Amino acid sequence: MAIDGLIILDANGRPIIQSGYTSFPPAYPLLHIDALNNELAKAPSSGIIDPIIYVASGGGGDMPDGSACCHIQVREMRMLASISGDLDPLVAFAFLQAFHDILQDYFGTVSTVTLKGNFDTVYQLIEEILDSSGHPLTTSPSILRDIVIPPSLLSTLLASLPASAPSVGRSGGPTSLNNTGGAFASPIPWRKVGVRHNSNEILFDVTEEMRAIVGRNGATLASNVIGTIECNSRLSGMPDLLASFSNPNVMAECAFHPCVRLQRWKREQTLSFIPPDGKFVLGEYQYAPPQKVVVNNLPIPVALKPNIIIGELGGSFTVTFTSRMMKAMENVKIEWYLGEDATGAQCTLSGAGSGVGSTGGAEGSWTFDSRKKILRWEIPSMHSSGSRVLRGSWTSKAQVPRPAHAFQIRFELPSYSFSSLKIDHVRLSSETYKMYKGVRMQSCGSIEWRW
Amino acid sequence: MSSQHGQDAKFFQRGKIEEFRAELQAAESKDKKYQKRKTVLKKIVANITMGNDMSPLFHDVIQCIGTPLLEIKKMVYLYLVSYGRSKPDQIHMVIPSFLQDCNDRNPLIRALAIRTMAYIPIPVVTEALSDQLRHCLKDRDPYVRKTAAICVAKLYVADPRKAEKAGFVEMLRDMLLDSNATVVANAVAALSEIGDRQDGVIFRLNLTVANKLIASLGESSEWGQIYILDSLLRFVPEEHSEAEMMGERIIVQLQHANSAVVLTAIKVLLYLMNYMENRRLIEYICKKMGPPLVALLSSGPEVQYVTLRNILLIIQRRPAVLKNDVKVFFCKYNDPIYVKLAKLEIMYRLAREENAQEVLAELEEYASEVDIDFVRKSVRSIGRLAIKVEAAADNCIQSLLTLIETKVTYVVQEAVIVIKDIFRRYPGKYEGIIPTLCENLDVLDEPESKAAMIWILGQFANRIDNADELLDDLVYSFLDEPTEVQLALLTATVKLFIYKSTSDATKALVHKVLKWATENVDNPDLRDRGFMYWRMLAVNPTLAQELVLAQKPAITTDSDRMDRGALDQLLLHTGTLGSIYHKNPETFIRNAAGRALVDTPALNPSSRAVILPLSRPHLPPTTVTVQGPGPIEPTYVPPAEPSKLVASATSEASGQDLLDVDNAIARPGSYDGEIDVDGEDEVPVKTGDPYANLDGAFGGYLADKPQPMSSSRGGNTNFDDLLL
């Protein structure tokens, strides 16, 4: 049960950062890098390869003879975790994600430049989050910040002071050798003791995403709504919170942050927790509609009417997009893959003459991505129920063009919630100060529409 | 900020050892605020990470260890981690500093010191560490305790028996009751690591400790929860009620945000279900497991992939899970190909009479997609669906015929391959479509589809009027064909001859092919088969007819389900590499400890019926002295130890032992052939190629080709039987 090591590769497949691999021969990480690069070289243009690559080695010595390389893509880079023995690859992926989040927290953007520029910090971080026998340790950013100082102007100043000087600014600052850093004195691993904020506030950000597949006859084949509750907590001390919902029944299949007392949720359907400091995901749920019948068959708030004629060396199309929402819809993006052989497209936009709803706002715009062969249609905002039409044609090198039989539709619905979930109240016990709390709802959709 | 980046990036340029040495020496005097030293050390560390050998600076770098600046100390320790083990003759110089840091007031430094020492497996360091570790395991600061717990596992690797004798294993066990959840989790992690070693102490939990661990889950971090949940597999229920109670307590963990925690919880539940009796509880757990698995599918593609591979295993053992959720696995156009293929496989598994129509409609959709590999597998799945669900066969055939009309080469070829199997599954039902197939003969250019078509031509030569002409055309290129096609041609012409033995043309044809097969071809299989047919036809044509046209056993896809006992064992590895490759890890990872169900009165009878022994070589329970290579400590007195350890271990437990010491000192690799560990086992302990039996494990999609129907033990189609 262990992660052998971590490597970050740049866009050219060369390692920039590599963790210890102290228990392994030097050839071992190289084998993994080669394995990944080989797969990438063999991959089709899409660059999609299996996320777990088996790495066989000749065995011998300390070399594990059956290991696997789990990797994720971060911008132009690849982060890979080597695992051998009987480890859950999900641990590796969850860990890579956590590692990425930490780097983001420390450096803002995670890129080749920031990593190279701060390699000493990255190494200190790796030391703290992954022990040499491969056990993930602390991955909570707020606690790590006490052990490894983020590179900032302040820390540069602090570092230039001699160790004997009293530490300035940060309480429990690690620069001082005489400090008994309280990082792990806390009884709970996700929150340190002694957090202080001048103004105490907690913000809840609820985002619901509808995912659906609509068949060619317009019938919904599969659909569900997944909600995520993100929190930004800036509360002092050890705040014990109790959040209750006016309609908890709309939340099904919940998954929570470790801080949530699960038994309590099971019993009372209230969220009782001591939050970590800063941003975190409190929980996720699936929207369970009140009538059991419509499970997996929620009404889709948009409609698409494609009319496509495929000819030789191209084709023509008329696509009508309709919003069925009474609310404003924003950032509508419709994508259509025209096939590997597509060479170009020409379109006109119109506001559909149905008369219902306004044609106000931009008509939208279209582009053809000649590298990815994707036709993109974007409508920045649509007011109430209205329609837009995209007419045009495309050309292709192939005698019989093979465009994708599905459109990908994305849209955003600000201050809307599919489930109408409502946070009733949030109570604070164990601390005496007054806190400010805020809740924001928003929704979005990602629909595959086949024709 | 940006200027600092540029500056730091320069450290990546190659530096020279001498230069650094000079700079370090210069820094010894007049180093205001240690800034100079810090800069040089940064350069050195940068060089280490680039793979440049910085070991000649050992002496110079360790001079900085006493610098009262944590950042510098950390870099020196980083250096020691890299080069400490390669300097056994100089390492003693650092030890006083180590000892000093072990007693520093700052817990971070105390932890850093023991952690670094644990990375350097040199006797003199290990010796020093052993003394310090005893204090650190009882340190008042939890950060030090949790670090110390992991260090014990390291120490154990360096010298198992010494670590045992020093009592560290018992100290770890006591840490399971620590007040700090992180410490508990790390103690569990360390004990698990020790327990997973083939030469290690066996780590087993009793009911009391297991319950305490479950109680501590609520306060653990996600990683801690994973370790603790995983360790619960080391608890062997003696009574049904134990397993049932524990299962009920773990169900709630399915509501965790971390995907790895969820999958580990599922693994534990699947394990405990083997020991449960209450059918309603089992059904309830099955029902509860589905939704969290589905929820994982809304994560990134990597997590989806791992989840899908595991679902595939789980639904074979517990078909009740996700029984009605086939829609969840419908592929989206934008899914990465590896996700699509995994979903396709699950859709086929979940297909039943009730949902066959939905599944078929989806498969038809996929068959019109762009990715060739995916299209082929979709077409193949339509055929497998026809074979699996009889009620859907008509529609599947219709769908395949429509696909053949598209004339897309790879679609037609794939369709022909599966139709051949459908003919075998439903003899006498669909032969009417043969003429349609014959029209597409020219499109077939791949060996597998060509061979399939030739098989159809030969098998049904009596129904195809121009079979002799078609075969005659095909035989034209006989000598250039791959073996697969040659074999098919040989058999098909023989069948044709038996059907139409009166025709001179067929006689000439079969003669030609037999002559080629026996005289012009080098492949021994082909030659042998040629001779066999030839002799058979010459000696006894009637018998030849009976043999060649004998009734074939009907085929099914149900026997493709994995053997039940093997499944039980694989499921103990849910969420691990083994479950991705669908192989037990010990078969492809040397030194991996296998897992097997332990037979106790609580094990339910159906699980017991198929129980498989652990295929890892069982080390003998009593001590065996092996005169092998490898040093054996002369002072070693094994027999006294187990009883002592067990006795001390039972002090707090209710009669069951928490720790068992498996005292076999034999290690894999040190057998010199004198003991036959487990003669009948095929596990490649010593064979040269440990992956020999991996065959299609990686990306092997068609691990379940249709196979002849047999009375196999795995081919149990009654879902109800699988409940227990």
Opening angle at CA A106, ends A1 and B44, nearest 5? 80
Would you state the pLDDT for residue B564?
66
* A61 has a chain B CB within 8 A of its CB: no
Whole-angstrom CA distances from A137 to A129, A359, B193 are 5, 56, 15
- In angstroms, rounded to a whole number, what is the distance separating the alpha carbons of residues B591 and B684? 11
- Our CA-based measurement puts residue B486 at a distance from the nearest CA of chain A, in whole angstroms, of 32
Per residue in A301-326, pLDDT (tens digit) is: 888 898 999 888 888 999 988 888 88
8 Å CB contact of A117 and B8: yes
Which are the contacts of B557, defined by CB distance < 8 A and separation ≥ 6? Answer: B384, B387, B388, B704, B706, B707
* For range A284-299, the mean pLDDT: 72
B-chain residues near A159 (CB < 8 A): 38, 71
- Checking if the pLDDT of B644 tops 50, the result is no
Both tokens of B559, joined, read: 């026997």
3-state secondary structure of A362: coil
Asked whether B236 and B600 are in contact (CB, 8 A), the reply is: yes
Would you state the pLDDT for residue B683?
33
* B593 has a chain A CB within 8 A of its CB: yes
Asked whether B240 and B278 are in contact (CB, 8 A), the reply is: yes
Would you state the pLDDT for residue A171?
36
Per residue in B263-293, pLDDT (tens digit) is: 899 989 988 988 888 889 999 999 888 888 8
* B196 has a chain A CB within 8 A of its CB: yes
* B180 has a chain A CB within 8 A of its CB: yes
Contact map slice: B 424-443 vs A, CB within 8 A: none
* More confidently predicted of A352 and A99: A99
8 Å CB contact of A66 and B589: yes
* More confidently predicted of B99 and A24: B99
**Nearest residue of chain B to residue A51 (CA atoms):** B302
Per residue in B411-462, pLDDT (tens digit) is: 899 999 989 888 888 888 888 888 888 888 888 888 889 899 999 888 888 8
Write the residue in B38, B262, B303 that is nearest to A93 by C-beta: B303
* More confidently predicted of A449 and A328: A449
* For range B552-566, the mean pLDDT: 61
- The torsion angles phi and psi of A239, rounded to 5 degrees, stand at -75, 130
* Residue B37, number of CB atoms within 10 A of its CB: 24
From the candidates B333, B343, B590, which should be mutated to test the interface with A, based on the most A CB atoms within 10 A?
B333
* A135 has a chain B CB within 8 A of its CB: yes
From the candidates A65, A131, A160, which should be mutated to test the interface with B, based on the most B CB atoms within 10 A?
A131
Asked whether A348 and A408 are in contact (CB, 8 A), the reply is: no
* For range B80-109, the mean pLDDT: 86
pLDDT tier for residue B621 given thresholds of 50, 70 and 90: very low
8 Å CB contact of B105 and A68: no
* A130 has a chain B CB within 8 A of its CB: no
Tell me the average pLDDT of chain A: 80
- In angstroms, rounded to a whole number, what is the distance separating the alpha carbons of residues A410 and A446? 5
Domains of chain A as residue ranges with CATH: 3-152 (3.30.450.60), 202-294 (2.60.40.1170), 302-414 (2.60.40.1170)
- Our CA-based measurement puts residue B583 at a distance from the nearest CA of chain A, in whole angstroms, of 11
pLDDT tier for residue A243 given thresholds of 50, 70 and 90: very high
Write the residue in B6, B252, B298 that is nearest to A263 by C-beta: B252
- In angstroms, rounded to a whole number, what is the distance separating the alpha carbons of residues A448 and A334? 10
* For range A185-195, the mean pLDDT: 77
- Our CA-based measurement puts residue B265 at a distance from the nearest CA of chain A, in whole angstroms, of 12
DSSP code of A25?
-
- Checking if the pLDDT of B565 tops 80, the result is no
Would you state the pLDDT for residue B314?
86
pLDDT tier for residue B381 given thresholds of 50, 70 and 90: very high
Asked whether B582 and B697 are in contact (CB, 8 A), the reply is: yes
From the candidates B37, B70, B72, which should be mutated to test the interface with A, based on the most A CB atoms within 10 A?
B70
* For range B295-313, the mean pLDDT: 87
The number of C-beta contacts closer than 8 angstroms across A and B is: 305
* More confidently predicted of A149 and A324: A324
* A392 has a chain B CB within 8 A of its CB: no
Contact map slice: B 91-110 vs A, CB within 8 A: 104-109
Would you state the pLDDT for residue A333?
92
Contact map slice: A 291-320 vs B, CB within 8 A: 296
Both tokens of B498, joined, read: 């038996």
From the candidates B223, B249, B569, which should be mutated to test the interface with A, based on the most A CB atoms within 10 A?
B223
Would you state the pLDDT for residue B584?
60
pLDDT tier for residue B646 given thresholds of 50, 70 and 90: very low
Could you tell me how far CA A259 lies from the centroid of its own chain? Answer: 20
Q: Which range among B147-161, B407-421, B432-446, B678-692 shows the weakest confidence by mean pLDDT?
A: B678-692
Write the residue in A56, A136, A226 that is nearest to B223 by C-beta: A136
- Checking if the pLDDT of A139 tops 60, the result is yes
- The torsion angles phi and psi of B683, rounded to 5 degrees, stand at -65, 130
Q: What DSSP string describes A96-158? A: HHHHHHHHHHHHSS--HHHHHHTHHHHHHHHHHHB-TTS-B----HHHHHHHS---SHHHHHH
Would you state the pLDDT for residue B595?
65
Write the residue in A97, A177, A189 that is nearest to B224 by C-beta: A189
Instruction: Calculate what percentage of chain B has a pLDDT beyond 90.
Output: 10
Q: Which range among B20-34, B400-414, B484-498, B579-593 shows the weakest confidence by mean pLDDT?
A: B579-593
Would you state the pLDDT for residue A15?
85
B-chain residues near A1 (CB < 8 A): 189, 192-193, 196, 227, 230
* A333 has a chain B CB within 8 A of its CB: no
* For range B194-198, the mean pLDDT: 79
Write the residue in A54, A114, A123 that is nearest to B45 by C-beta: A123
- Our CA-based measurement puts residue A13 at a distance from the nearest CA of chain B, in whole angstroms, of 14
Would you state the pLDDT for residue B395?
92
pLDDT tier for residue A167 given thresholds of 50, 70 and 90: very low
B-chain residues near A339 (CB < 8 A): 370
- Checking if the pLDDT of A157 tops 80, the result is no
Model-wide pTM > 0.90:
no
**Nearest residue of chain A to residue B335 (CA atoms):** A48
Would you state the pLDDT for residue B148?
92
**Nearest residue of chain B to residue A281 (CA atoms):** B257
Would you state the pLDDT for residue A179?
40
Asked whether B314 and B266 are in contact (CB, 8 A), the reply is: yes
8 Å CB contact of B291 and A286: yes
B-chain residues near A258 (CB < 8 A): 220-222, 225, 256-258
CB-neighbour burial class of residue B280 (10 A; exposed 0-12, middle 13-18, buried 19+): exposed
* More confidently predicted of A313 and B579: A313
Both tokens of B308, joined, read: 């899908």
Would you state the pLDDT for residue B228?
92
Instruction: Calculate what percentage of chain B has a pLDDT beyond 70.
Output: 75
* Cβ density class B63-100: b for 16+ within 10 Å, e for less: bbbebebbbbbbbbbbbbbbbbeebeeebeebeebbee
pLDDT tier for residue B576 given thresholds of 50, 70 and 90: low
Asked whether B331 and B340 are in contact (CB, 8 A), the reply is: yes
